[in-house]
Amino acid sequence: MSGPPDQRGFDEMYAGVPPWDIGRAQPEVVWIADAGGFAGPVIDVGCGTGENALELASRGLEVLGIDASPRAIEAAKAKASERGLSAEFLVADALALGSLDRRFRAALDCGLFHVFEDAERPVYVASLASALEPGGVLHLLCFSDLQPGSFGPRRVTQQELRDPFADGWDVREIVPATFVTNLPELQAKAWRATIVRAG
């Protein structure tokens, strides 16, 4: 389905609890943070209800979470207030991050890349480049083509992940990972990529 993410039914999904909203940060994100992978300020692109951003804020990092879903951002702000955390959340378009007029040392994409169609991926990568400082690090988790079946998001191969970042980026690693969901029968196979913007 084409159009910005807010036109793809995500806001309606946040009227309930979507499968990816597990009430805590994704374990892969916690692992990256434990390994020292984030330096602030950080932008969490497609932050949903904010669990990953709030995990980083709880570690003292300056974090901005953006999402196209007003419902998700409202929930994220409520969580930040309840937990006494200073993460910032905005409704914004991931394909137009330059409009924020801000630069970040790190970016997190946990489950957004696989939403975009092929033609949108270069637009998204250019948008990320407009928000990341030279030398800034993108940590990206997306659905893997190793995930069997057809339920859930579109699968992504390693090559499909590498191609949009061929110019102006250094793909440091792509490794197998796991998405935890709130569906007991679905712990999905993912790719975890570390990608550095050329300085």
pLDDT digits (tens, 9 = 90+) for 84-112: 999 999 999 999 999 999 999 999 999 99
> Which residue type sits at 118?
D
pLDDT of residue 2: 40
Q: Where are the beta strands (DSSP E) in 111-187?
A: 132-143, 169-179
Instruction: Tell the residue number behind the tokens 């980083």, with chain if given.
Output: 56
pLDDT in tens, 137-192: 999 999 998 888 877 778 999 999 999 999 999 999 999 999 998 776 668 899 99
Query: Average per-residue pLDDT in the chain?
Result: 90
Residue 17 has pLDDT above 70, yes or no: no
- Nearest-angstrom CA–CA distance, 105 and 132: 6
What local confidence, expressed as pLDDT, does residue 7 receive?
A: 47
Distances (CA, A) of 19 to 10, 24, 25, 177: 12, 13, 13, 17
pLDDT of residue 138: 99
Residues 6+ away with beta carbon under 8 Å from 193? 138, 139, 140, 141, 142, 161, 171, 173, 174, 175
Determine the average pLDDT of the residues in 37-48: 97
Which of residues 20 and 33 earns the better pLDDT score? 33
pLDDT band at 3 (very low <50, low <70, confident <90, very high): very low
- The domains of the chain, with CATH numbers, are 5-11+26-197 (3.40.50.150)
pLDDT in tens, 62-91: 999 999 999 999 999 999 999 999 999 999
Measured distance CA(142)–CA(191) in Å, rounded:
5
